[in-house]
């Protein structure tokens, strides 16, 4: 959890009149982050690396699928349609299927 530092004073310079309830008028809020330990840095880097690899893999997959589609290889493999190939061979359904089609 981050530390919270509040800098400021009430309108009367910190003095209160009898019977009034003035807590403080905040003029500045400063949030400080805790220092990152090695585990946090490693986890963050691993996630970023996986995201990059996923993007590269999708690109390679799209190139391969384009080749399969353009060459109609899926027909030679026994599928009657592109959609059947995508659903049955690759097991893409729902939004993945719509994305590919």
Are 51 and 96 part of one and the same domain?
Answer: yes
Which of 65, 47, 67 has the alpha carbon at shortest distance from 57? Answer: 65
Within this chain, do residues 23 and 45 fall inside the same structural domain, yes or no? no
Q: What's the pLDDT score for residue 50?
A: 94
What per-residue confidence (pLDDT) applies to 37?
Answer: 76
Domain count across the chain = 2
Give the three-class secondary structure for 99.
Answer: helix
pLDDT lower than 70: segments of the chain: 1-36, 100-101
The pTM is what? 0.53
Range of the domain at 17: 3-32
Judgement on whether residues 46 and 67 belong to the same structural domain of the protein: yes
Residue 68: predicted pLDDT = 95
Q: Which pLDDT value is given to residue 19?
A: 56
Are 13 and 54 part of one and the same domain?
A: no
Q: Are 82 and 92 in contact (CB under 8 A)?
A: no
């Amino acid at each position: 959890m981050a530390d919270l530092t509040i800098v400021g004073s009430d309108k009367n310079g910190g003095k209160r009149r009898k019977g009034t309830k003035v807590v403080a008028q905040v003029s500045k809020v400063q949030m400080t982050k805790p220092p990152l330990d090695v585990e946090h840095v490693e986890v963050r880097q691993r996630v970023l690396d996986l995201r990059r690899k996923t993007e590269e893999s999708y690109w390679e997959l799209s190139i391969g699928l384009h080749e399969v589609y353009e060459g109609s290889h899926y027909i030679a493999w026994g599928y009657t349609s592109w959609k059947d190939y995508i659903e049955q061979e690759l097991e893409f359904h729902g939004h993945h299927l719509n994305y590919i089609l």
